[in-house]
Amino acid sequence: MIKRICLVLLIFMGLSTPGFANTESDPKLADISHNMEAQAEELVTALLAKNKPDSEHYYKLISSNLKKIHKTESQTDFNERRAREMIIAYSWMRLISIDMKHSEWIGAAIAANQMRGEIIRFTDFTSNTLRDLAWMDYLGRDLMLLGMESRTDNLELIGLRKNQLDEIWKHVRIDMIKDFRNKPLVVRGDQLMLRMDAESNTDELIDLTRSELGLVKDLKKAHTLN
């Protein structure tokens, strides 16, 4: 728990900025990072289902792709920030492996979602809104997982996630409301953020996070159509 909290705080020092892989200048890295994000999401799903074969499968895929990025980065000039972020990424992978070994499924899922957050940071998105929507998905999933693990132990982190989610939503709604057709989605998002911020019951909060994940999917579809 303590190790994970420390790593979470390090990651969120640079929440909105690109990370160690310069995917914009390397199409192959861009493809790898997008694949890794999808694989990390599948890994979270498999871990929550306590599906060991699928969990190991997606873990190996992510690990292989991370090594490809590491190899590419090692061939460029040394960058202290990128090196530090690579260490963080490998630390998450180690935590996932340890929790999987001990069948700590929720703990492993939390670590996998944190790894996904790190992937989002070094993924090149075609728009800032798509990046923000990826963060909203990550944060909603993290709120759900932290609530499942222990609301009491994770109270501070849950409060942090709520604040971060609210701030990112403010950016997303500004872009989405430019198209009047998105007004129902924006109103839905405003109401959902208020309910999540005020909710203190763990089960209710988990249900609201599932609604938030559904909202993000609908927002992505609307953004693609705009």
pLDDT band at 26 (very low <50, low <70, confident <90, very high): low
Strand ranges, E, within the chain:
none
Give residue 103's region: left, alpha or beta (phi > 0; psi -120 to 50): left
Q: Which residues contact 67 (CB under 8 A, 6 or more apart)?
A: none
Count of structural domains within the chain:
2
**Last residue of some domain: 71, 96, 124?**
124
Average pLDDT, the chain: 86
- Residue 18 forms part of a structural domain: no
Domain co-membership, 153 together with 112: no
Closest Cα partner for 117 from 15, 226, 13, 219? 15
Domain co-membership, 3 together with 107: yes
pLDDT tens digits for 103-158?
A: 999 999 999 999 999 888 878 888 999 999 999 999 999 999 999 998 888 889 99
pLDDT tens digits for 7-23?
A: 454 444 344 444 444 44
Query: Over 80: is that where the pLDDT of 47 sits?
Result: yes
Model's pTM, two decimal places? 0.85
What is the extent of the structural domain holding 102?
A: 1-11+23-124
Domain co-membership, 165 together with 214: yes
Distance CA 59, CA 97 (A): 8
Domain co-membership, 115 together with 84: yes
- Mean pLDDT confidence for 188-217: 95
